């Protein structure tokens, strides 16, 4: 608490001396039992995942800079094999696939890089990152001691390593890459491969090290990773992890900042108090390298999402959101955490921690060597706060929290006490023209093309029996059309019957004589579809068309490549000829890979074949739409709001935004208004958006747009109304902070008592999120016992009468402001009670 008699107002953020990150690209990266060594110096390194193809090249520099500003030392990315080698030995590293450019931008920002070559990625990416052509190599078996697979894996891995060497991007060449990864989470499933798994993993390690990168290699989730490969941990918590050798450092390659979202699922999120607790616990117990998965999640553009059923959004509740904006308070609180950990770095790398118990669920870890001392105090209990005695001083430890003491005396941060600002994001619907409504902007100039039901391609073929979809399409399209027709008596019955279809997934539409009869879909837990629909066969010839579709290919699990899709049967007609059942599965079927619109290239700019008439067909299945539009005004990130649409894919100026499916809603149960950060986090612990579409807003990168004359193309499977689609701009509605008298002072103001002889109290700070903005209004301010959360603060039983005017005077008209949280500033509205200051503001 600040000394009485001093009124504290600080416009803009005070910057004081903080231990700066030492980022100089060294020629020698090694490791010992404590840490990675860069030019002989042990380093505590904080890393974050940014997958270059999940954003656009124009976003890369900003994402990397925001990562650096957030206190990261390292940027991590997978390398996606199927992105770069869609056809065997035909490579693509252009545009958004320019891996070299991305790594060079990391270097320009003064950060290190961790290149996870794999080449198996998982990552909720289509087919785990493997190219589909790999599946068709004779005799191949993925991820085991198999000669064809190992030959292809070595060839691609060597290709990537050689590219990096040619550009001198490894640290051994003066570049930023200090780590590489081979394989990925194989230890989770290697038991399924028997003794061949061990042979394979030893081969992979030997192959990787033979490529002579000059930097260490890691294997995550691989307890038997052979020397010199470092085995690392992935998970929500890794404080209890121990490397498989006393010569290797404790490293965490995936700290999951949230979780992925499937179509049909509620939106998961992870409270930052828990995430910060997990990070602090890891460093408390001897860790020295930690990576956030994800730091920026991004977007699954095109057909890159896996799963199956993974949404186009890969936001992951990351510190930087899908659109490239800071997610607060997550980004800011982690930034403060990183600064706090860096204040301890010299002591941490000098020695192992000494861990002692301070009581039930209470623990102290002390790093002490050669005049250096840093301590971490933890309360791992989930129910009760605690007051602990340490080195003769008392410390308040909330449940499920860690306090960091860089000098073993004064706490710089507690993981449960957030000093960072909180922002409330919102999407503002807008048109492409300020003078017209949203719907009018899109209504002008709509054209369409009716996708034919059934077989329309010259490349169609017939075969006896039902064909598995992935082997048939080679994933060249989501769609496989299958039909049966002819002179068979059961197709001339003219009676009511039931069509029964069994599919391995992922979704299915059944048409009888050109009319939609029924649809079915799987889900992320069970992709299979079992559909029964009552149909009427007309007298004479009947046609049954089954349109089967995939929603991303399997990306995880033992033998995931053998997971099939599509209608594999049985397909039956029930109730034919006085109640008999006829199995159609072994009959002759005709097949067509893909859609007529795909064959015609309707998604590309300048395509022909469109129909333009006064009456726009709506709410009908299998229809393509297109219109032209001007780019929305302003610089805010833009999304397309797919209100009124069913399921399909969208393209802007020939580039695929991805699959949309706003009609797939989540369950009504499982969500809560608030989520208690205390206790172990699980992927389903904290959910929001129950009973609503899993995803209704789809990122449309501004770099894809021209000022005018842009083309939007939609393929709608189920039936929708494109005139209801609108633009939505990603903006910040308000910003808040809630700081108590018991909070530590801001990290930037921390100094040891030994240096200053005095200490400042807690501060509440606000800062507008965008350049050229200032704080324009204070929507709420209370010093006393306010309660609620950002956007819903309310006064408690006591509140300073002058709080609002004091905050207004300090903040309005400034880009940022800071106010001392003490009775010296606001007076004492309730003597003897611990008070807090809550503020909500708006910026313009």
Residue that terminates a domain, selected from 327, 362, 385: 327
In the structure, what pLDDT confidence band is assigned to residue 820 with cuts at 50, 70 and 90? very high
Q: Rounded distance, CA 727 to CA 648, Å? A: 18
Question: Residue 686: CA atoms inside 13 Å, Cβ hemisphere, count?
Answer: 20
Task: Note whether 559 and 614 are same-domain residues.
Answer: no
Q: What is the mean pLDDT of the segment spanning 119-135?
A: 98
pLDDT in tens, 67-106: 999 999 999 999 999 999 999 999 999 999 999 999 999 9
| Residue 393, domain member (yes or no) | no
Instruction: Give the C-alpha separation, 117 to 98, whole Å.
Output: 15
Checking if the pLDDT of 5 tops 70, the result is: no
Whether residue 465 sits in one domain with residue 445: no
Q: Considering only 224-238, 552-566, 744-758, which range has the smallest mean pLDDT?
A: 744-758
Domain housing 799 = 751-843
* Residue 673 counted as domain residue: yes
Residue with tokens 């656009």, as numbered in its chain = 56
> CA-based angle 63:68:72, to the nearest 5?
110
Residue 11 binned pLDDT confidence (cut-offs 50, 70, 90): very low
Looking at residue 7, its pLDDT comes to 35
**Which of the listed residues 280, 308, 327 is the one where a domain comes to its end?**
327
Given this model, what pLDDT does residue 486 score? 62
Is residue 626 domain-shared with residue 773, that is, in the same domain? no
Whether 816 and 755 map to the same domain: the answer is: yes
Report the number of distinct structural domains present in the chain.
4
Same domain for 49 and 197?
A: yes
Calculate mean pLDDT across residues 324-344. 98
pLDDT of residue 429: 84
CA angle 818, 823, 827 (to 5 degrees): 110
What is the pLDDT of the chain when averaged over all its residues? Answer: 93
Residue 579 confidence class, pLDDT cut points 50, 70, 90: confident
Q: Is 50 exceeded by the pLDDT of residue 406?
A: yes
Indicate the pLDDT class of residue 51, thresholds 50, 70 and 90. very high
Q: Measured on CA atoms in the order 468, 473, 478, 481, is the torsion positive or negative?
A: negative
Residue listed under structure tokens 């939106």: 267
Q: What DSSP assignment string belongs to 707-773?
A: SS-EEEEEEESS---GGG-EEEEEEEEEEEEEEETTSPPPGGG---HHHHS-----EEEEE-SSTT-
DSSP state of 392: T
212-227 pLDDT per residue, tens: 999 999 999 999 999 9
CATH number reported for the structural domain that contains residue 293 in this entry: 3.20.20.80
Instruction: With cut-offs at 50, 70 and 90, classify the pLDDT of residue 2.
Output: very low
Angle between helices 147-166 and 99-108 (to 10 degrees): 40
Q: What are the tokens at 147?
A: 């000669």
> Any idea which residues carry the catalytic annotation?
185, 254
pLDDT tens digits for range 258-285: 999 999 999 999 999 999 999 999 999 9
Domain membership of residue 515 (yes or no) is yes
pLDDT tier at 740, thresholds 50, 70, 90: very high
Per-residue pLDDT, 493: 59
In a domain, 90, yes or no: yes
**Average pLDDT rounded to a whole number, residues 658-672:** 96
What mean pLDDT is predicted for residues 27-53? 97
Question: Tell me, what's the pLDDT at 13?
Answer: 33
pLDDT at residue 291 is higher than 60: yes
Residue 441 included in any domain: yes
Do 563 and 603 belong to one domain? no
Contact 499, 573 (CB under 8 A): yes
Q: Quote the Cα angle for 251-252-255, to 5°.
A: 165
Is position 568 within any domain?
Answer: yes
Instruction: Please report the pLDDT score of residue 489 as a whole number.
Output: 64
Same domain, 566 and 604: no
Give the pLDDT band (50/70/90) at residue 438. very low
CA quadruple 344, 347, 353, 357: dihedral sign: negative
* Helices 330-343 + 272-284 axis angle, to 10: 20
- Give CA–CA dist 42/48, Å, rounded: 19
Determine contact, residues 837/739, Cβ cutoff 8 Å.
Answer: yes
| φ, ψ (nearest 5 deg) of residue 67 | -65, -45
Q: In a 3-state reduction of DSSP, which class is residue 184?
A: coil
Give the model's confidence band at 331: pLDDT under 50 very low, under 70 low, under 90 confident, else very high: very high
Beta-sheet pairing, 289-296 with 251-256: parallel
Question: Predicted confidence band at 436 (pLDDT cuts at 50, 70, 90)?
Answer: very low
Q: In this structure, are 433 and 551 located in the same domain?
A: no
Using the 3D structure, point to which of 575, 594, 613 is the last residue of a domain.
Answer: 594
Least confident of 148-157, 344-353, 422-431, 581-590: 422-431
Q: Is the pLDDT of residue 6 over 70?
A: no
The per-residue pLDDT for 488 is 61
Mean pLDDT within 634-646: 95
H or E, element range at 165: helix 147-166
Q: What is the CATH number of the domain that holds 478?
A: 2.60.120.260
Residue 586 in this model has a pLDDT that exceeds 90: yes
DSSP 431-487: -SSTTS-HHHHHHTT-EEEEPPSS---TT-EEEES---HHHHHTTS-SEEEEEEESS
Asked whether residue 543 falls in the same domain as residue 658, the answer is: no
CA distance linking residue 761 with residue 746, whole number of Å: 9
In the chain, how long is the greatest CA-to-CA distance? 98
Residue 435 has pLDDT above 80, yes or no: no
pLDDT of 650 > 70? The answer is yes
In a domain, 350, yes or no: no
* Cα 395 → chain centroid: 36
CA distance 439 to 767: 35
Q: Are 579 and 631 found together in one domain?
A: no
pLDDT recorded at residue 750? 87
Residue 494: is its pLDDT beyond 90? no
Q: What is the pLDDT of residue 445?
A: 84
pLDDT cut 70: percent of the chain above it? 93
636 pLDDT more than 80 = yes
Are residue 134 and residue 192 in the same domain, yes or no? yes
- Does position 505 have pLDDT exceeding 50, yes or no? yes
Are 77 and 99 within one domain?
A: yes
Tell me whether residue 313 is in a domain. Answer: yes
Q: What one-character-per-residue DSSP string does 519-543 give?
A: EEE--SS---EEEEEEEEPPBS--E
- How does residue 537 score in pLDDT terms, banded at 50, 70 and 90? confident
* Terminal CA-CA length for the chain: 33
Overall average pLDDT of the 405-421 stretch = 97
Does 441 or 4 have the greater pLDDT score?
Answer: 441
Residue with tokens 């004081």: 16
DSSP symbol at 787: B
């Amino acid at each position: 608490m600040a000394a009485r008699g001093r009124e504290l107002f600080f416009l803009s953020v005070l910057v004081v001396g903080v231990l700066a990150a030492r980022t100089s690209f060294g020629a020698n990266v090694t490791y010992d039992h404590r840490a990675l060594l860069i030019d002989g110096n042990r380093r505590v390194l904080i890393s974050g995942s940014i997958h270059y193809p999940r954003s656009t090249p124009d976003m890369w520099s900003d994402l990397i800079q925001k990562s650096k500003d957030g206190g990261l030392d390292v940027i991590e990315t997978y390398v996606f094999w199927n992105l770069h080698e869609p056809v065997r030995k035909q490579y693509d590293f252009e545009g958004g696939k320019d891996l070299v450019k991305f790594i060079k931008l990391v270097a320009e920002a003064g950060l290190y890089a961790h290149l996870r070559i794999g080449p198996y990625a998982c990552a909720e990416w289509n087919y785990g990152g493997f190219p589909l052509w790999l599946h068709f190599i004779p005799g191949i078996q993925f991820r085991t001691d198999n000669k064809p697979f190992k030959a292809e894996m070595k060839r691609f891995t060597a290709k990537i390593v050689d590219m990096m060497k040619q550009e001198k991007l490894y640290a051994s060449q003066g570049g930023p890459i200090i780590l590489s990864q081979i394989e990925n989470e194989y230890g989770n499933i290697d038991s399924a491969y028997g003794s061949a798994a061990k042979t394979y993993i030893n081969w992979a390690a030997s192959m990787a090290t033979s490529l002579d990168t000059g930097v260490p290699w890691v294997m995550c989730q691989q307890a038997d990773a052979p020397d010199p490969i470092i085995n690392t941990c992935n998970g929500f918590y890794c404080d209890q992890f121990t490397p498989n050798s006393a010569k290797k450092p404790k490293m965490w390659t995936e700290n999951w900042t949230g979780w992925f979202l499937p179509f049909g699922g509620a939106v998961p999120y992870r409270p930052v108090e828990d995430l910060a607790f997990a990070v602090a616990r890891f460093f408390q117990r001897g860790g020295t390298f930690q990576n956030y998965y994800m730091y920026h999640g991004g977007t699954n553009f095109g057909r890159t999402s896996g799963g199956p059923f993974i949404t186009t959004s890969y936001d992951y509740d990351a510190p930087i959101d899908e659109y490239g904006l800071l997610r607060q308070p997550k980004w800011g609180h982690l930034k403060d955490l990183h600064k706090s950990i860096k204040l301890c770095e010299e002591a941490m790398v000098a020695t192992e921690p000494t861990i002692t118990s301070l009581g039930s669920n209470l623990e102290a870890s002390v790093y002490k060597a050669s005049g250096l001392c840093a301590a971490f105090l933890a309360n791992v209990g989930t129910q009760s706060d605690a007051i602990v005695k340490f080195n003769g001083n008392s410390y308040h430890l909330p449940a499920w929290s860690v306090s960091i003491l860089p000098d073993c005396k004064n706490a710089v941060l507690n993981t449960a006490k957030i000093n960072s600002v909180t922002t409330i994001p919102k999407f503002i619907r807008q048109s492409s023209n300020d003078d017209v409504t949203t719907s009018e902007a899109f209504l002008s100039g709509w054209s369409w093309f009716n996708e034919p039901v059934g077989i329309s391609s010259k490349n169609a073929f017939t075969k006896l029996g039902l064909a598995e979809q992935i082997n048939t399409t080679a994933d060249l399209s989501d769609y496989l059309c299958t039909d049966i027709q002819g002179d068979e008596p059961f197709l001339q019955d003219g009676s009511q019957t039931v069509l029964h279809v069994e599919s391995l997934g992922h979704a299915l539409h059944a048409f009888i004589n050109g009319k939609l009869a029924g649809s079915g879909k799987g889900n992320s837990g069970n992709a299979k579809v079992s559909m029964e629909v009552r149909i009427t066969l007309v007298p004479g010839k009947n046609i049954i068309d089954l349109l089967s579709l995939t929603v991303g290919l399997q990306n995880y699990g033992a033998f995931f490549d053998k997971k099939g899709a599509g209608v594999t049967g049985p397909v039956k007609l029930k109730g034919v000829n006085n109640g008999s059942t006829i199995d159609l599965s072994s009959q002759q079927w005709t097949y067509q890979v893909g859609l007529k619109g795909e064959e015609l290239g309707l998604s590309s700019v300048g395509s022909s074949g469109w129909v333009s008439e006064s009456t726009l067909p709506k709410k009908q299945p299998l229809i393509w739409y297109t219109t032209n539009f001007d780019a929305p005004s302003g610089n805010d990130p833009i999304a397309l709001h797919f209100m009124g649409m069913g399921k399909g894919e969208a393209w802007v100026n020939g580039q695929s935004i991805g699959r949309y499916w706003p009609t797939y809603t989540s369950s009504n149960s499982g969500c809560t208004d608030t989520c208690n950060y205390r206790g172990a986090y699980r992927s389903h612990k904290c959910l929001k958006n129950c009973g609503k579409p899993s995803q209704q807003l789809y990122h449309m990168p501004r770099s894809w747009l021209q000022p005018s004359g842009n083309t939007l193309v939609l393929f709608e499977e189920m039936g929708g109304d494109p005139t209801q689609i609108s633009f939505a701009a990603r903006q910040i509605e308000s910003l808040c902070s809630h700081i108590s008298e018991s909070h530590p002072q801001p990290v930037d103001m921390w100094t040891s008592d030994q240096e200053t002889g005095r200490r400042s109290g807690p501060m509440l700070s606000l800062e507008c999120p965008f350049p050229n903005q200032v704080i324009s209004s204070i929507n709420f301010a209370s010093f006393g016992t306010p309660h609620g959360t950002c956007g819903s603060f309310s006064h408690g039983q006591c509140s300073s009468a002058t709080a609002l005017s004091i905050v207004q005077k300090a903040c309005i008209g400034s880009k940022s402001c800071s106010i001392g949280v003490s009775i010296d500033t606001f007076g004492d509205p309730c003597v003897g009670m611990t008070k807090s200051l809550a503020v909500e503001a708006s910026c313009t």
